Structure 1
């Protein structure tokens, strides 16, 4: 293994975008690791012990020490294994990368979740909000291949779920945001991102992902209607 060394394990779940972004970072660095699939409906004692706060994946275990939360894990990976840097070396560019990553996590994921798991006016408002957010990202990407320029970096890994999982959500929940005419630069970025070998070779099967999220959405909506009926 390259610089950093030691035993590396990743606790994950195959359909999780947050887990995949950590895997992309590990693959970019060429880090050998053991992947441990978790059943989130029956979480292992190890996962609960290593991440007792939120009891979720991903969890990276490096030499027996657990690190939780995908953005934190990626920064840890980048600091420990110095080769093939993910964050820019320039302090200002590093700040920008962190800003766009925080921006997308705080706005895009919440909006997609509401568009995915709600109906009616709440869903419509979430989609409008998501479009406004993507418009800002589109402007930031103007004239660029990736968020940092020509090379894949931190912001791309963090926002990468939007290139693969957002179209899945659109298909499953019957809405559309990724319009190449409205957002040409963002659409171009998604194409560029998905063509990077380390990304392309480490995506879940699309059909299986669609089926998984169809079932998941059906269960969530069913539970929500049941709660409203008995309220």
Structure 2
């Protein structure tokens, strides 16, 4: 498959952008990557053209047709290219994976961010406890292999520990043994580890983002 058929507009340090990259890598799909300057708000005309509604990364182009929103893109990738399955095949398990992925984006992400930016940890802790319970007895959220929910939860595995380092605030403590085991397994996976953003660059970014901590 020619690289020109698949293009990804993303940002180097975005966990949402990395979701799509990880899925493409797990599937073995060749693609052309276009870095967007989202931190400076200098968005390219192409990005604004391909995602006029939200004007955000990531955007995947397949044969010239744009798909926006990371979870939507993950499902598109899984339905378009066979091989490594990202979503479960069984309908109930598939629906359950979608439920937890939505929970992560709608509840966990905002509460975790607020715990660092505003010092409001209670809601984040409660949400993480629900994920901890869901992970009990499992290597990954879907079982023995990295899947949809793991990819969606990538910010907990890699970004949160770096924010903890940058701010000096701990969120993932010993009360989350399953989550801590999971994050170590996730970031140690060969495909994921090889394509994680620069640790030092991210820590520096978060130190600048949270200057009062």
Fold match (TM-score > 0.5): yes
Answering whether residue 203 of structure 2 is matched by residue 210 of structure 1, we say: yes
In structure 1, the residue matched to 2:8 is 10
Q: For 2:81 and 2:139, locate their aligned partners in 1 and report how far apart those are by CA, in whole Å.
A: 25
Q: For 1:117 and 1:12, locate their aligned partners in 2 and report how far apart those are by CA, in whole Å.
A: 24
In structure 1, the residue matched to 2:82 is 82
Aligned length: 210
Using the TM superposition, give the Cα deviation of residue 6 of structure 1 relative to its aligned residue in structure 2, in angstroms.
6.8
In structure 1, the residue matched to 2:176 is 183
In structure 2, the residue matched to 1:98 is 98
Structure 1, unaligned stretches of length 5 or more?
A: 222-231
Aligned counterparts, 1:114-129, within 5 A: 114-118=114-118, 123=119, 126-129=120-123
Answering whether residue 48 of structure 2 is matched by residue 54 of structure 1, we say: no
Using the TM superposition, give the Cα deviation of residue 13 of structure 1 relative to its aligned residue in structure 2, in angstroms.
0.6
Using the TM superposition, give the Cα deviation of residue 213 of structure 1 relative to its aligned residue in structure 2, in angstroms.
2.0
In structure 2, the residue matched to 1:140 is 134
In structure 2, the residue matched to 1:111 is 111
Using the TM superposition, give the Cα deviation of residue 86 of structure 1 relative to its aligned residue in structure 2, in angstroms.
0.5
Using the TM superposition, give the Cα deviation of residue 98 of structure 1 relative to its aligned residue in structure 2, in angstroms.
0.6
Answering whether residue 152 of structure 2 is matched by residue 158 of structure 1, we say: yes
Using the TM superposition, give the Cα deviation of residue 216 of structure 1 relative to its aligned residue in structure 2, in angstroms.
2.8
Q: For 1:145 and 1:213, locate their aligned partners in 2 and report how far apart those are by CA, in whole Å.
A: 29
Structure 2, unaligned stretches of length 5 or more?
A: none
Work out which of the two has the higher radius of gyration on C-alpha atoms and give 1 or 2: 1
Q: For 1:148 and 1:169, locate their aligned partners in 2 and report how far apart those are by CA, in whole Å.
A: 26
In structure 1, the residue matched to 2:185 is 192
Using the TM superposition, give the Cα deviation of residue 174 of structure 1 relative to its aligned residue in structure 2, in angstroms.
2.9
Q: For 1:177 and 1:212, locate their aligned partners in 2 and report how far apart those are by CA, in whole Å.
A: 19
Which stretches of structure 1, 4 residues or longer, exceed 3 Å deviation after superposition?
A: none
Q: For 2:206 and 2:80, locate their aligned partners in 1 and report how far apart those are by CA, in whole Å.
A: 34
Normalised by the length of structure 2, the TM-score is: 0.94
Using the TM superposition, give the Cα deviation of residue 84 of structure 1 relative to its aligned residue in structure 2, in angstroms.
1.1
Q: For 1:136 and 1:109, locate their aligned partners in 2 and report how far apart those are by CA, in whole Å.
A: 13
In structure 2, the residue matched to 1:229 is none
